[in-house]
Amino acid sequence: MQDLKVVNISCEYKTNPLGIDVKKPRVSWQIESTQRGTKQLAYQYQVSLSETDFEQPLYDSGYTESEQSLHIEYTGPELESHKRYFNRVKVWNQDGLDSDWSDVAWWETAFLDQSEWQAQWITPNPSEIDQTPVFLLRKEVQLKKEIASARIYATAAGVYELSLNGEKVGEDLLAPGWTSYNKRIQYQTYDVTSQLTGSKNVIGVLLANGWYKGDLTWEDKRNIYGDKRGVTLQLHVRYQDGTEELILTDGTWKATTGPILYSELYHGETYDARLEQKGWDTIGFDDSNWKSTVVASEFPTNLVAQENNPTRVTETIFPQSVFITPAGDTVIDLGQNMVGRIRLKVEAPAGTKIVLKHAEVLDKDGNIYFGNLRSARQTVEYITKGEGMEEYAPIFTFQGFRYVKVEGYPLQNGKLPVENFVGEVIHTDMNKTGEFETSNPLVNKLQQNIVWGQRGNFVDLPTDCPQRDERLGWTGDAQVFIRTAMFNYQGGPFFTKWLRDLKADQFKDGGVPFVIPNVLPDGESSSTAWGDAAVICPWTVYLVNGDKRILAEQYESMKNWVEFIRRQGENEFLWNNGFQLGDWLALDAKENSYIGATARDLIATAFYAYSTRVLRDTAVVLEKAEDVRTYTELLGGIKQHFNLEFVSSTGRLTSQTQTAYVLSLVFDLVDGKVRDRAAFELNEHVLDNDYHLTTGFVGTPYLAFALSNNGYHETAVKLLLQDTYPSWIYSITKGATTIWEHWDSIKPDGSFWSDDMNSFNHYAYGAIGDWMYRVLAGIEMEESVPAYKRIRIQPRIGGTDFTYVSANFESMYGKIESSWNLTEEEVRLTVQIPVNTTAQVILPNANIENLQEDGRYINNVDGVLSITEAEGDVRLEVGSGTYQFIYPNEKGMKKIYTINTRLIDLLDNDQTKEILEKYSPGITRPNPTANLKVLSLKELASPGKAKIPHDGLEKLVKELNLVESVELNLS
């Protein structure tokens, strides 16, 4: 049996991409084998113009000895536009065994040189351009012969949807997506071979305002990129006899308006079905009263092929309930704060107007709440034509909502027939890559909320929120969340596109706008932690996917950002001036301020150091020796000045905030004793707050890392599990189904933070997901060998409330899994390592003698390359394969867990309180019971910090009847 198989060939991250303009496309593949420890020794890669004939390939790498299986760049003869290139791969493993040829995959080029684009931009007649309704454009097309294949290449100034002979073309929504239109605009490619029928065909286009000229930003600015809508389109027909024909947009196309009277991204859509022009996009329709379009020149010129995955409906959700609010509104509850639209069915007399108003939450009285939408109306109106059952979903708008207020819908037996409504979830259709689950349902809910936050805000670009009058590509938010995002979904194409816009919109001086594409007023300055997206985002894509090209493409932009900072501060090593957003929304902010207490120059200098480090590391990857030297030196200087300026000689920071300590630790700005002190102070800070955080956008993503990686993992876990305000789980106790913008978007008393800035779907605080995958589950990588070529499985087992944590991640090489399970008796760890990678597996509190894998003692296990014991852990080097490790839980990891939770569980009981008070003299904190509630026994009895004397602790545990015999293992 052939055991070696090449699967999942992708090109530029996509399976069989149609319409690319990459001149040297990169191909990646995965390998399957049931044999452990499999690696690729060599590959052979061929490209052919024929799907079946590889006898005379266009390109043949020949037998190439290399482990590389990701991003193999095509180096054959120059590609031509509008051609399909087929490819296949075979590989050899370390023993010289070869696979069969893979299945054939392909890519197809669009315009490799944009000067080949011939179609003109057309716009509806000038008398019509200021109209609000969505335009219909049409063109009858005569084809002369039998067709072999046909493609449409199209884009629009606005958002558009195509139809051919009355049928929608493709499934994309909101094409051409949002780019920095004045610098670059994407076109889409559609295979319409099967939609063309006979010689006569009609191309139809619906054309709305979208991001190009519709309302954007809280100032409701219009016409940001231009004041006319336009379309440019080419239909390429290849006849069976080999000849070709092009049909292009020109002034012979006709346009008018139709049933969509209004459509705006923020505000919704108004559709009057009585105005439908039946058959407008089919043959034989009389368009004599439509106006001619005009050819216009003021449209974007830099056309690029679609880079991102398209935006699509990815799921439908059926309403959970319908109810009447205290204010008397009829409201549908989807049960999930989602982004997309409602599809409805209705049968009613002509002219019946149904109004849907979308909102995210109910207020504390149970009424639907629109306040936080600010000026975004999120209102969809449908007016019936009265011809039986009608179906409608808005096309050029999307809403962020869980609740829908329904007005005007004809009731049946006094009730709203809720089965006629369905929610359609819309976002960039990325491949799902990650799954995370634990023994704690609240944490699982948090993971789901993070994923929903990502789905709702990855609508063609990374946005801050999907509901109010923003929905903008805020750089800080994207930077904060990207690593988590890249666990949940394959974000390669998504961030490649967005980063090209970042580069395009970067200010001349290297500053980075707050939002990308930049639609905020000129002259806006740059802020730390926002502008750093220019450096952090490409680096993250590189780390996760091994994508060197994104580093090469963005390198100048990364460098310009660091050089920009270098020119800012009072000396080249500090950034201590200018406008800064600071630790945005941190809880230590002054009354009425959005900006947390951590000194802004400390944050700015810390991020300056971090970006410089990443830039230096990028220079290493790109082999730019001179820059490696320059930025290593610069980094040294920044670190030194950071210490001079912000750290006392005994290791206190000038800002005594969680965020300050977090940044100094995770950005590696403090060493030795100062570092220990910083970690200690951070932990104390969290303890002093009864295990609550105070961090905002800047500190939150790194907080748990700073604790776990500096000796305070249990504190990090308690922060995660904290369910009182402020915490991640708190929002879940208040019914959150997504991540909120503020820790107190809904306050403990049920009131709202404020109308002015209160999104219930903001992904930034979802950045904890990164730590959940990397630390709790322990799926980590060796950064010097990106893309998880060298994996580290290092789960944190025991000492916490979890009895199992399970995560898997579809890396570029294939699936990685780390799942652990803890009982009183044993520890089990399931690990999956993809072919062509290796892993170090660290089994905590294990020893070699009784560690087994699938029933065998560890020193006799296939795939295990080396075994060492260090610091109470067993460390294994393993090759690819799936492993089931089991070892006895000798070190009592569970015991700590049991005692802790039961102590917490019992607290509300009077008898317990009494017993606790009896032992309280040893407790140094003001409120003994409150503190006991949150301190683990380990902390209570740790030397130097004893809150209860050790013997007292033992008695206490016994008296509480927690365990039969007390054998405290406090290590």
User: Binding residues for ligand BGC, per CB under 6 A?
Assistant: 464-465, 470, 474, 476-477, 581, 584, 757, 762
Query: What H or E segment, with its residue span, contains residue 556?
Result: helix 548-566
470 a catalytic residue: yes
β-pairing verdict for 135-142 and 838-843: unpaired
User: C-alpha dihedral over 745, 530, 543, 471, to 10 degrees?
Assistant: 50
Give me the residue label for tokens 């039961």. Answer: 902
Output the DSSP codes for 319-333. Answer: --EEEE-TT--EEEE
Name the residue number minimizing CB distance to ligand BGC: 464
**Cβ closest to ligand BGC, residue 41 vs residue 587:** 587
Both ends of the chain: CA-CA distance in Å? 51
Cβ(291)–Cβ(256) under 8 Å?
yes
Cβ(674)–Cβ(682) under 8 Å?
no
**Rounded to whole angstroms, how far apart are CA atoms 774 and 504?**
33
Instruction: Tell me the closest approach of the beta carbon of residue 214 to ligand BGC, in angstroms.
Output: 19
Residue 22 CA to its chain's centroid (Å): 24
**Cβ closest to ligand BGC, residue 361 vs residue 757:** 757
CA atoms within 13 A on the CB side of 950: 8
Q: Which long-range contacts (CB under 8 A, 24 or more apart) does 676-681 make?
A: 676/651, 676/710, 677/650, 677/651, 677/652, 678/651, 678/653, 678/710, 679/706, 679/707, 679/710, 679/711, 679/712, 681/652, 681/653, 681/656
Cβ(788)–Cβ(813) under 8 Å?
yes
**Cβ closest to ligand BGC, residue 470 vs residue 817:** 470
**Cβ closest to ligand BGC, residue 381 vs residue 741:** 741
Output the DSSP codes for 646-674. Answer: HB-TTS-BSS-SHHHHHHHHHTT---HHH
Instruction: Tell me the closest approach of the beta carbon of residue 463 to ligand BGC, in angstroms.
Output: 9
Give me the residue label for tokens 């390198």. Answer: 555
Q: Which residues contact 219 (CB under 8 A, 6 or more apart)?
A: none
- What are the φ and ψ backbone dihedral angles of 245, each rounded to 5 degrees? -140, 145
Output the six-digit token pair for 214. 């519709």
**Cβ closest to ligand BGC, residue 469 vs residue 853:** 469
Q: Which amino acid is at 103?
A: D
Output the six-digit token pair for 619. 């220079």
**Cβ closest to ligand BGC, residue 537 vs residue 886:** 537
β-pairing verdict for 200-208 and 390-392: unpaired
**Cβ closest to ligand BGC, residue 471 vs residue 500:** 471
Instruction: Tell me the closest approach of the beta carbon of residue 340 to ligand BGC, in angstroms.
Output: 20
**Rounded to whole angstroms, how far apart are CA atoms 416 and 470?**
32
**Cβ closest to ligand BGC, residue 85 vs residue 369:** 369
**Cβ closest to ligand BGC, residue 514 vs residue 788:** 514
Instruction: Tell me the closest approach of the beta carbon of residue 720 to ligand BGC, in angstroms.
Output: 22
Cis peptide before 517 (omega within 30 of 0): yes
**Cβ closest to ligand BGC, residue 524 vs residue 563:** 524
Whats the size of the chain, residue-wise? 971
**Cβ closest to ligand BGC, residue 573 vs residue 697:** 697
Give me the residue label for tokens 């993809």. Answer: 834
**Cβ closest to ligand BGC, residue 566 vs residue 762:** 762
Residue 874: C-alpha distances to residues 379, 472, 533, 843 (Å): 59, 48, 38, 5
Instruction: Tell me the closest approach of the beta carbon of residue 650 to ligand BGC, in angstroms.
Output: 35
**Rounded to whole angstroms, how far apart are CA atoms 384 and 348?**
7
Instruction: Tell me the closest approach of the beta carbon of residue 764 to ligand BGC, in angstroms.
Output: 6
**Alpha-carbon Rg for the chain in angstroms:** 30
Instruction: Tell me the closest approach of the beta carbon of residue 735 to ligand BGC, in angstroms.
Output: 22
Instruction: Tell me the closest approach of the beta carbon of residue 741 to ligand BGC, in angstroms.
Output: 7
β-pairing verdict for 291-292 and 294-296: unpaired
Q: What are residue 333's DSSP bridge partners?
A: 321, 403
The residue from 264, 269, 470, 939 that is catalytic is 470
Output the six-digit token pair for 251. 């002034």
Instruction: Tell me the closest approach of the beta carbon of residue 581 to ligand BGC, in angstroms.
Output: 5
Instruction: Tell me the closest approach of the beta carbon of residue 762 to ligand BGC, in angstroms.
Output: 6
In the chain, count H helices and then E strands. Answer: 19, 46
The residue from 741, 780, 810, 939 that is catalytic is 741
**DSSP 3-state assignment of 407?**
strand
269 a catalytic residue: no
Residue 89: C-alpha distances to residues 27, 45, 279, 348, 581 (Å): 10, 5, 48, 58, 50
Calculate ∠ Cα 775-779-782, nearest 5°.
100
**Rounded to whole angstroms, how far apart are CA atoms 970 and 896?**
8
- C-alpha closest to that of 223 among 302, 157, 135: 157
**Cβ closest to ligand BGC, residue 584 vs residue 919:** 584
| Residues marked as catalytic | 470, 741
